[in-house]
Structure 1
């Protein structure tokens, strides 16, 4: 199988600055995550669950995770020229159950719906894969809802491939299947 070359940086890096997330970003990141779920997962996750998502509660969780972090999980934001956040990504060690392996994992990547297609997601993903490769990690994994065709196309265009692993994801009283994607970072 031929390994795809990394995607070139899109025009977004000229329009956004990627930097570490701070606690001050928690409200915007929470709103982005909630809006992202409500937009991307409509029809895949029970609507009652999506409608009940609470930005304030999510912001509190974001602050708590940042405060309790040990540095192994990295939150990045893409900041637009006007100071608003245009995207958020979080990554760290791959989790195989409770065990952290020597590979990387993209835990989340969300954009405000109006930023989709502007290169912000690609810029964040390029930054994350670059950081994982620079750290010497051999592979990077991520999980995506099986029915999320847009996200699957996005990750496939970035050189990720579904490796056949699938897990159920319990949310809002429903079981939603996720598929695992992987990309080699070295060799």
Structure 2
């Protein structure tokens, strides 16, 4: 497996992982109409723009947040996972790193892809000068919570409500981690 920085020409593979993982992981957690409406073509366009702007040190169009970085996991020439990270985007969190998203294709679940990505993110956040970081997990996504907890990210009791593309608002739970040297 290869872990490297995302490139614009990776956008299609990233979009496929994004849509397929949402449709598998969020059944029963996100309105099925939202999951069914996911489009690889739309996500490809979004991710191509996102990566291009990130490479230029700019935030995504329409967002008022710091630029983030993206790693991709490649196996047998195919993108099987990705993760985004950077400075905290929530109020009062610019001093913290944030693991903003981590997705593996369902066919790559429990194969080490997530471990490789979360290790790369922790390293990238440490290199950027962060000694602590946080992430958000959709309430009820027990598989993801267990994964993060195995890697030392612990729920701290903080919750927020996020928009789900016009569907019912979603509850998210924050997990935090100290990024001491050698931790994943």
TM category, shorter: 0.7 to 0.9
Which whole-Å CA distance do the structure 2 matches of 1:173 and 1:79 have between them?
33
- Cα deviation, residue 65, structure 1: 1.1
Q: Secondary structure at the match of 2:71?
A: strand
Indicate the residue corresponding to 1:132 in structure 2. Answer: 125
Bigger relative CO (Cα 8 Å, ≥ 6 apart): 1
CA distance in 1, matches of 2:93, 2:11: 26
Q: 2: CA distance between counterparts of 1:174 and 1:36?
A: 20
Q: Counterpart of 1:73?
A: 68
Is 2:10 the partner of 1:25?
Answer: yes
Question: For residue 162 of structure 2, what is the aligned residue in structure 1?
Answer: 169
Secondary structure, counterpart of 1:96 in structure 2: coil
Which of 116, 122, 139 pairs up with 1:146? 139
What is the distance in 2 between the residues matched to 1:104 and 1:186?
Answer: 13
Q: Is 1:182 aligned to 2:176, yes or no?
A: yes
What is residue 111 of structure 1 aligned with on the other side?
A: 104
Counterpart contact for 1:145–1:178, Cα < 8 Å = yes
SS in 1 for 2:29: coil
Alpha-carbon distance in 2 for matches of 1:101, 1:26 = 27
Q: Which runs of 4+ in 1 moved over 3 A?
A: none
- Given the two structures, how large is their TM-score scaled by the length of structure 2? 0.88
What CA distance in whole angstroms lies between the structure 1 residues aligned with 2:93 and 2:46?
22
Q: How far apart are residue 100 of structure 1 and its match? A: 5.7
Q: Deviations over 1:121-144 (max 9, x none)?
A: 011001111221233212111001
Q: Which residue does 1:160 correspond to in 2?
A: 153
Count of equivalent residues: 170
Counterparts of 1:22 and 1:28 in 2: how far apart (Å)?
11
RMSD: 1.4
Instruction: Tell me if the contact between 1:104 and 1:141 (Cα under 8 Å) persists in the aligned partners.
Output: yes
Aligned partners of 1:127, 1:105: CA distance in 2, in Å?
13
Paired with 2:88 and 2:163, the residues of 1 have a C-alpha distance of 20
Tell me the equivalent position of 1:86. Answer: 80
